[in-house]
Amino acid sequence: MSESRPAQPRVSFAAVTPNNLGTVRKLNSVLFPIKYSEKFYHDIVQPDVEDFCQLIYYNDIPVGTMCGRVEVKDGQAKLYLMTFAVLAPYRSRGIGSQSLKHLIQTTAAHAKPKINAIYLHVQVSNDEAKRFYERHGFKEVGLYKDYYKKITPHDAWILQLDIEQKDAAGGNP
Amino acid sequence: MPPAGIPPSRALPLKESGLFKEVLHYYEDRQLKKGLKTADAILKKFPKHGETLCMKGLILTHMGRREEGLELVKQGVRFDLTSHICWHVFGLIQKGQKNYEEALKSYTQALRFDKDNMNILRDAAHLQTQLRLYDALVETRHTLLRLRPQLRQNWIALSVAYHLRGDLAESKKVLEQFENIVKNVPDYDVEMSEILLYHIRVLEELSEYTEALALLDTHAKSRMIIDRVAIMEYRARILSKLQSPEAQQAWQGLIEQNPDCYDYYKGFLSSRAIDLDAVTDDIRPGALQILQDFVQQFPRAAAPQRLALSVSTGEQFKELVEPYLRTRLQKGVPSLFTDLKALYRSPEKRDAIESVVHALLDTLAHAPDAPCPSSIDPTVYIWTLYFLAQHHSHLGRHAKALELLDTAIAHTPTLPELYMFRGRVLKRLGDPYGAARWVDQARLLDLQDRFLNARCGKYRLRAGLIDEAVEVFGLFTKKDAVSPAQDLEDMQSLLYLIEEADAQLRNGNHAMALKKYLAIQKVFDDFEDDQFDFHGYSVRKFTINIYLNLLKWEDNLRSHPAYVHAAIAASRILVKLHDDPSMASAASDSHLSGAEKKAKKKAKKAEKKVQEEAKKAPSSTNEDKGLEATAPKDEDPDGTKLLQAPEPLERAAKLLKPLQTLAKSNIEAWVAVYDVAIRRKKYLQAVQALHHAHALQADSPELHVRLVDFKRRCAPNPALRVNMFSDTIGPGSSLSEKPDESVATVVSAFLPKLLPDEMSLEAYNSQFLQKHSTRGDAVLAAAKVSQALGAPREEVEAAVFNVLNADVELDIETAVAVDAFLSEIRSPREEEFRSAAGERFALSTVFVPHAKLPELRKSALHVPNVAEEKEEVIS
């Protein structure tokens, strides 16, 4: 009996849109101890952030999400990564790393505006997450006191990755 | 001077006669405005000139002024009854109205006055085909061929006409003659290729296989037949029929072309004397070996693997099914269960699948809240859970299915299939409201998925949420349509029409239900009309083979489940209406919900707008609106008029008529035919229907009710018994006063075969009950009969409550029917039954007290939002 070899697991991405927003809501509801406002859901489907607001698929099933917004201050643009997570059973198989690399590449290739850095908050109890980001070049640049109001601990690290500018067209690491 | 033979009323002076030619010319060129002006110029001087009046009428019809046009044409015909032009125009108009019988009559008239008119002959041939008047068709095609033998299509058309009449030998003769005289066929001529394939088909149908094969081989070699796949398929098929040793090689060639075509494997095996549909133990090993060889040869093809599952048994099946399941679960094939469901007819295979998949699940199981071990692919785990949930639900183990689905959803909450199927399980458990809510959850995960959307609409209809269903359906309908419902009807969505009709019926709105069922009938009428254009097109383009298949399909059109269902359901409403005419007057706006009223208002507004726009458009444009009437506006938006229309029984009989030949094995159809026939006093037909039903399922509870009904209607007293036979079948018979002895004889000869003559009906009923006392549907039927026989209500109630006994098999559908019956006889114990049934079907919601229904319906629309319960909020 012949048998086809199990296919390589596929990781793929798709922009968040009003149509698949229900999937994002579902993922957020199980992934984070936080309720996101309607404004959050409104902002992440805007066309200008579609590169940074993505669903993550594993074998064509949505298993994670990452949503960022662009913040411009003093002529410097930064990407603030608001949410980024993968469903528990799907962790430890490189999906997060692939996704973050994908995001870093897209950010580096982004032209209007050019983005100088990606930053995000990690709750100070979450060492694992911190190590994950540090593996991808993020550095702790500060502490946000009482970032969380209800969940403890209240504080959050601020992690940042400076982006080396590449050609707008280039996506090679 | 007019030429001889032209009546003076038709003759026109030179100038006007020139103008008339211009009118014809303008019409041909569709210069409608100019044509109209010229016609008016003639009519100014000769207002009673029939042919001009007809042409003007025709032009007006094309311009959309249909009623005015028709009136003029009728007038014109009256002024000149011997003009072929007048009759031809009249025929055209009738054809446009899809009134084919009358159109053919007009064409026949036209031909009397111009018997060799090619256009009229050709149109007549199309009408004769549409009406299946094949004798007349042969004659018309003959005339056409005689007139124009140099036209290829006239030869083929005659051959097809013979073929349709069942005269294959003549059909073949015509083709042979044609092929003898045809010259200058270009290379690679598709038309000639099709004609030759048709010729071979005729030979094949004549069982002249050797000749067929010779013809095929000759023309395949000379490249006259250019359809390579067709050559191979014809060849393999004919060789098989010849039982030639070459057949096997021919099928092998086809399999190499397409290793996923089941028919090819079937053909190959038949060439090895194996009938795939009836594999016996003797030939099983051989058949399996052949299939296994094909699996080796075509490892990527699914067909031989799947066929091997059907053929194999026992240990061998287990060995084969394990890798089959595993590879597909690894790939994540959502339809896997549907693919394998057919194997479940064998309990042995069913159990083998269960044990294989459960064993697989054991190797995959892991916690939902921690990373899955690297040796396991979490998506395989999910698809395995999904498969098993379907497996258990299919076998009625719904609780187990729900448990599996909940495990899967806790692990991966983003797969719509899981939510959809959870909804389906709830539906099977009798909870249409929960089902609708879960399917809506699936839809919310991906709003652009049409399938999820359609499912959601369907489930809302199942939950009686009609307005809300139309709302979701509306997300994918045309935005400029009058309403989503109208658009879906225009798109001939049978799924929607059936589900909405059923939902309306469940909600007690007979008018709307009838309206939607009749809309389904209309869709099938349209399907039938749609073939008309092909009578001309297919012969002209020589696509004969596919055309003949189309005609066969059209002849069996109304065997489609949607038609059968709609016809039966509509006939039931019409019968009810006959038994209780007050139903029609009760139907009014009173039971329209607020939203329905709003929708009605909106529809009216939209309609008005359309009309206004139509008015604004200048009426004298040159735009050709064609001869076919555009859809008239809906004069009866809530179906009341349909309900109030006269002669409900005649309408029901017409709906059911096709079923008597096309749904012969459907017992419900025969019961419906009986219900209508007995009320129309068509006793022969009634008894025939009972007889058919009896042959299908002698102990059917529905049949039992009808048998007693028939006996009661026939024999309450001897005087009536004679009286009832005063009607014979056939129209106009009710006028005859004399009892028809022959009908009476047939009926009294048949009746004892169906139920014993000497026994009282009460005794007969209790005998039936005793025999089937453990069947819920039989208990209900017996109770219905005793109610009809006049038993006191308390007794009937007590009898029907027996369905709740522990030893009685009761499914949800029957329980719902019991509830409906109690409500029908206005039983004070209905709520008591509902609460008992609610306990029996613990997860169901269909039996909740009536007062709680609105709340439940609302719950079906409210998808819970887990996030709402969280403390931390980020804006």
Give mean pLDDT, residues B414-427. Answer: 97
- Percentage of chain B surpassing pLDDT 90? 76
Chain B contact present for A130, CB below 8 A: no
Give the ipTM. Answer: 0.92
pLDDT for residue A173: 40
Give mean pLDDT, residues B530-550. Answer: 95
Give the count of alpha carbons within 13 A of B323, CB side only.
15
Q: Two tokens at B236?
A: 């393999």
Catalytic site includes residue A147: no
Helical ranges in B115-260 per DSSP H: 118-130, 134-147, 152-165, 168-181, 190-205, 209-221, 228-241, 247-257
Q: What is the mean pLDDT of chain A?
A: 89
Test mutation, A5, A25, A30, chain B, max B CBs within 10 A: A30
Is a pLDDT exceeding 50 seen at residue B824?
Answer: yes
pLDDT for residue B361: 97
* Shortest alpha-carbon distance between residue A109 and chain B (Å): 29
Q: How far apart are the first and last CA of chain A?
A: 43
Residue A147: closest C-alpha in chain B: B874
**Dist CA B842 CA B630 (whole Å):** 52
| Least confident interval from A50-54, A122-126, B332-336, B740-744 | B740-744
**Which of chain B's residues have a Cβ under 8 Å away from the Cβ of A156?**
none
Element housing A144 (H / E): strand A139-144
Chain B contact present for A60, CB below 8 A: yes
Q: Is B239 helix (H, G, I), strand (E, B) or coil?
A: helix
Q: Are B872 and A33 in contact (CB < 8 Å)?
A: yes
Q: Which tens digit of pLDDT belongs to each residue from B602-636?
A: 666 666 665 665 555 544 566 777 777 666 677 78
pLDDT for residue B595: 54
* Shortest alpha-carbon distance between residue B804 and chain A (Å): 42
When comparing pLDDT for B739 and B286, which is higher? B286
Q: Which tens digit of pLDDT belongs to each residue from A88-119?
A: 999 999 999 999 999 999 999 988 889 999 99
How does DSSP classify residue B869? G
Q: Are B415 and A61 in contact (CB < 8 Å)?
A: yes
From the candidates A80, A144, A147, A148, give the one annotated as an active-site residue. Answer: A80
Catalytic site includes residue A90: no
Binning pLDDT at 50, 70 and 90, where does residue B584 land? Answer: confident
Give mean pLDDT, residues A38-52. Answer: 93
Binning pLDDT at 50, 70 and 90, where does residue B777 land? Answer: very high
- Characterize the bridge pairing of strands A61-73 and A139-144: unpaired
Chain B contact present for A34, CB below 8 A: yes
Element housing B328 (H / E): helix B314-331
Q: Is B148 helix (H, G, I), strand (E, B) or coil?
A: coil
Considering only CA atoms, which of B858, B841, B856 is closest in space to residue B398?
B841
Test mutation, B289, B874, B875, chain A, max A CBs within 10 A: B874
Distance of CA B696 to the CA centre of its chain: 22
When CB atoms are compared, the residue of A33, A63, A82 closest to B870 is A33
**Dist CA B872 CA B875 (whole Å):** 10
Is a pLDDT exceeding 60 seen at residue A26?
Answer: yes
Residue B366: closest C-alpha in chain A: A89
Residue B379: closest C-alpha in chain A: A59
Chain B contact present for A42, CB below 8 A: no
Binning pLDDT at 50, 70 and 90, where does residue A172 land? Answer: very low
pLDDT for residue B612: 61
**Which of chain B's residues have a Cβ under 8 Å away from the Cβ of A92?**
371-372, 374
**String of DSSP letters for B676-716:** HHHHTT-HHHHHHHHHHHHHH-TT-HHHHHHHHHHHHHH-S
**String of DSSP letters for B245-310:** TTHHHHHHHHHHH-TT-HHHHHHHHHHTT--TTS--TTTHHHHHHHHHHHHHH-TT-SHHHHHHHH
Q: Are B295 and A2 in contact (CB < 8 Å)?
A: yes
Q: Are B370 and A148 in contact (CB < 8 Å)?
A: no
Residue A61: closest C-alpha in chain B: B415
| Least confident interval from B128-132, B481-485, B829-833 | B481-485
Q: What is the mean pLDDT of chain B?
A: 89
**Dist CA B571 CA B100 (whole Å):** 26
Helical ranges in B715-789 per DSSP H: 718-724, 741-754, 761-771, 776-788
Is a pLDDT exceeding 50 seen at residue B736?
Answer: no
Give mean pLDDT, residues B835-851. Answer: 92
Q: Are A88 and B369 in contact (CB < 8 Å)?
A: yes
Query: Which residue is associated with the tokens 């079948």?
Result: B729
Give mean pLDDT, residues A123-128. Answer: 94
| Least confident interval from B89-98, B737-746, B799-808, B853-862 | B737-746
Is a pLDDT exceeding 80 seen at residue B284?
Answer: yes
Q: Two tokens at A109?
A: 């290739």
Residue B297: closest C-alpha in chain A: A2
Indicate left, alpha or beta for B600 from its phi (over 0: left) and psi (-120 to 50: alpha): alpha
Q: Which tens digit of pLDDT belongs to each residue from A77-90?
A: 999 999 999 999 99
- The model's pTM is 0.88
When comparing pLDDT for B740 and B284, which is higher? B284
Between chain A and chain B, how many beta carbons pairs sit less than 8 Å apart?
Answer: 124
pLDDT for residue B725: 43
